[in-house]
Structure 1
Amino acid sequence: MAQWVEAGLWGLAGGGALVLGALVAWFLRVPRDVVAVVMAFGAGVLTAAAAFELVDEAERTGGLLATSAGFAGGAVVYVLTNVLLARRGARHRKRSRDQPSESDQAGSGTAIAVGALLDGVPESVVLGVSLLGGGGVGAAMLAAVVISNVPEGLSSVAGMKAAGRGAGYVFGVWGAIAVAGGLAAALGNVLLDGASPQLVAVITAVAAGAILAMVADTMIPESFERARLYTGLCLTAGFLTAFVVERLG
């Protein structure tokens, strides 16, 4: 099997976890409290992945300047995109804890989907690059991607479904993001063969910046609306899980 094909399949597998979460939320009636707990756990996983798998690796290989530039860039792009969504009516914060509007619910799902795209594409590129030089795919990174993507798909689709989005829209969005991840991994493997460590560091750090912006702006506030005092505990459990996976990998 050609290496770029293998990279694409690994990227598709990581993105497929988003679709898995979407399927669970679509076909099962998942209580909102459960969604909130899962979202908090996913936020912890994403935070740990950003810190230990992405930022740390980018700084060690490409230097502090390239890492800082990519990290800030990823956060800025996500926040600006989210601002544009809000101005078009897709506000993701709830106006009422007990009676969120359809616009609020749909906006939350859309914001998480945007974050999944902005961090998922660079993450997939990282997976593709990890195969260069004859090495295997980064197992810890792949595990972190899968662990975090299931809650993202679950929490986003729960909001979209509650707001009346159809199956075509929901699975079209997540299917497209999964395919984009596969293509990004394949292209990353082909185009970044021999690329400078600084360029790879920027791409890696962009993913980390988008992740943390999404966690702070969307996932934690939405989780706290329902989980309340359990949010911190669930987030800590997710962080610890990802940290253990990274160290054992």
Structure 2
Amino acid sequence: MIASLGWGALAAGSLVVGAVLALLRTWPDRAVGLVLGFGAGALIASVSFELAEEGLKIGSASAVAAGLALGGLTFFGADRLVERWGGRSGGSAAGAPLAVGAFLDGIPEQLVLGIGIASGGGVSAALVVAIFASNLPEAIGSAADMRSAGRSGRSVIGLWTGVAVLCAAATVVGAALAGAVSDEAQALVDGFAAGALLTMLIDSMVPEAKEKAQDWAGLTTVAGFALAAGLSLLGQ
């Protein structure tokens, strides 16, 4: 449990790092887009090698497929609710919907991280890198928007610290679940995380990387994929 909490805190800690960076200076769109592209590539590799493939190793294809469908539909529905909440709340309350969005991204990632650690597979370096890299630009952009909407630096850091703590706690929950559920259930969780992350990648992360980094987005995505895929293969 201590190990899962430590690794979970490391992965989720980039949310707080991103918020601090956003308050220290203004970051150009291209820099944020490059990190978004890198994180997207790393997450694509993790979805392929750490989630879908691992789910098929320990469980049936039907369990992974059911998880993919549930994860995609859950993220889609929750993301629509967050967008409506943000639209009704207005600029001054923008921080809460943005934080909920980061929470929706982080929970399935870190649940799987905890399950992997507790199952004896060791720490997935590729998944940790993917989570860390994808969290940074999200926190930078969101925290900058919160500050522009009039929130104090202390409240911004407090909000993102709370989100990071909840995401890190999900790693511990995943570790606890690993010993209590069957291989089929773990395969379902892997598929759920993969479905949620794929939906998030295509709906928000990849389009934003392309918009901000323009022609460089593809190359940085390949770099992120190559690094995470290499780490996954080394860990096997």
C-alpha contact (below 8 Å) 1:37/1:234 kept by paired residues: yes
* Shift in alpha-carbon separation, 1:72–1:110, aligned structure 2, 3 A: farther
Q: Which of residues 124, 149, 156 in structure 2 aligns to 1:138?
A: 124
1:197: Cα distance to partner? 0.9
Task: Structure 1 unaligned segments of length 5 or more: list them.
Answer: 92-102
* Pick aligned residue for 2:204 from 218, 236, 239: 218
Aligned to 2:219: 233
Query: How far does the alpha carbon of each residue in 1:131-160 deviate from its partner, in whole angstroms, 9 at most, with x for none?
Result: 336553333332332233323323433443
Partners of 2:195 and 2:116 in 1: CA distance: 20
Can you give the 5+ residue segments of structure 2 that lack an aligned partner in the other structure? none
Alignment of 1:70 onto 2:56: no
- Measure how far apart 1:121 and its partner are: 1.9
- 2: CA distance between counterparts of 1:37 and 1:107? 28
After superposition, give the CA deviation of every residue in 1:134-187 in whole Å (9 maximum; x if it has no partner).
553333332332233323323433443444444344323321222112222222
Alignment of 1:85-164 (within 5 A): 85-90=82-87, 113-132=99-118, 136-164=122-150
The verdict on how the C-alpha distance between 1:131 and 1:72 changes in structure 2, with shifts beyond 3 A counting, is same
C-alpha separation between the residues in 1 aligned to 2:64 and 2:40? 22
Q: Output the CA distance in 2 between the equivalents of 1:140 and 1:106.
A: 37
User: Corresponding residue for 1:200?
Assistant: 186
> Does the CA-based 8 Å contact 2:92-2:149 persist in structure 1?
yes
- In the alignment, the residues of structure 1 paired with residue 58 and residue 222 of structure 2 have an alpha-carbon distance, to the nearest angstrom, of 28
> Normalising by structure 1, what TM-score?
0.80
SS in 2 for 1:8: helix
Corresponding pairs, count:
235
Moved over 6 A (4+): 103-112
**Partner Cα separation in structure 1 for residue 113 and residue 18 of structure 2:** 21
User: Is structure 2 residue 42 aligned with structure 1 residue 45?
Assistant: yes
Q: CA deviation at 1:192?
A: 3.0
- SS state at 1:29 partner: coil
Which deviates the most, 164-173 or 188-197? 164-173
In structure 2, the partner of 1:11 is: 8
Which shifted more, 29-38 or 137-146?
A: 137-146
Aligned partner (choices 217, 228, 231) of residue 242 of structure 1 = 228
Q: Distance in 1 between matches of 2:62 and 2:78?
A: 24
CA RMSD of aligned residues (A): 2.9
Partner SS, residue 179 of structure 2? coil
Query: Aligned AA for 1:207?
Result: A
Secondary structure in structure 2 of the residue aligned to 1:195? coil
CA distance in 2, matches of 1:126, 1:162: 34
Residues 111-142 of structure 1: CA deviation (Å, up to 9, x unaligned) = 76445323422322222223336553333332
| Percentage identity across paired residues of the two chains | 39
Measured after TM superposition, the shift of residue 210 of structure 1 is 1.6
Aligned to 1:36: 33
TM-score for both structures, normalised by structure 2: 0.84
Verify the 8 A CA contact 1:19 1:171 in the aligned structure 2: yes
